[in-house]
Amino acid sequence: MEMIKGKVVVVTGGGGLIGQSFVEAIVKNGGIAIAADLNLEAIEKIKNLYSNKKNKVDAVVMDITKKDSVINAINYIHERYGKIDALVNNAYPRNKNYGKHFFEVEYEDFCENVGLNLGGYFVTSQQFAEYFRDGKEGNIINISSIYGVMTPRFEIYNGTKMTMPVEYAAIKSGLIHLTKYMAQYFKADKIRVNAISPGGILDNQPQSFLNEYKKYCAVKGMLDPSDIVGALIFLLSDQSKYINGQNIIVDDGFSL
């Protein structure tokens, strides 16, 4: 069933772990996926993976923190495809010091990481919304997190070098409210804005952490990227055309 047939969808961070699953799902459901990424290697990988589907997958260099870069990407996509139907804010920019424990985080790093991620989502949404206003409608989907809606369960990190970064909590919770803000602000422009908040995604975490995490879930525990594409396709499709300003949690019950 091609739920988003013919829709041109831009996925920031399209060359990453989750982004690649989004690109694949968009194509499978009849859409045209544009992977926007700053990583040239990731972009080339996307192009090679889908070399037999040149009219279904494209990739463009885009820095979500740079206004000119976003505008250039929009112009390229519009010139090539004649329209853009949706933006998926999925990129995850951060500096080399990201991921430290609370008392190890420096003020400069906190500000930089919040600015890169939350600020980048703002700049990208701003410029795409400007484009969507000219086209009379649009669709923005922000990828947040369960840790944007709940406090961290720090105990599941015991015995590992991992933690739940304080910047992440600030970014993802801020992103959910930014989603609601933009949904309200863009109402008259027929641009709807929603968020998806996934639970933890499998990415070579220690087994001890996976075991502790699963204790709070219903069935699976940590999810595969493919487990959240159903929510994405739904929000991209006309089946959700009256859903606006909402946050869909996909976490196997972890946040309950």
pLDDT, tens digit, for every residue of 81-140?
999 999 999 999 999 999 999 999 999 999 999 999 999 999 999 999 999 998 889 999
Using CA atoms, how far apart are residues 121 and 160, in angstroms rounded to an integer?
A: 31
Among the options 50, 131, 168, 213, which is catalytic? 168
Is 147 known to be catalytic? Answer: no
Read off the tokens for 201.
């995604």
**Mean per-residue pLDDT, 216-235:** 98
Give the closest residue to 150 by CA, choosing from 185, 107, 198, 87: 198
Instruction: Please report the pLDDT score of residue 85 as a whole number.
Output: 98
Phi and psi dihedrals of 82, rounded to 5?
80, -5
Q: Which residue has the tokens 């701003």?
A: 126
Record the tokens describing residue 64, joined without a space: 């979500």
Strand order in the sheet with 247-250: 57-61, 32-37, 8-12, 86-89, 138-143, 191-198, 247-250
Q: Cβ–Cβ contacts within 10 Å for residue 203, how many?
A: 10
Specify the pLDDT at position 50.
84
Confidence (pTM): 0.96
The DSSP letter of residue 68 is H
Euclidean distance between CA atoms 227 and 12, whole angstroms: 19
Check whether 254 has a pLDDT greater than 80. Answer: yes
Q: In whole angstroms, what is the distance from residue 215 CA to residue 213 CA?
A: 5
What confidence score (pLDDT) does residue 53 get?
76
Tokens of 132: 């969507």
Nearest-angstrom CA–CA distance, 41 and 38: 9
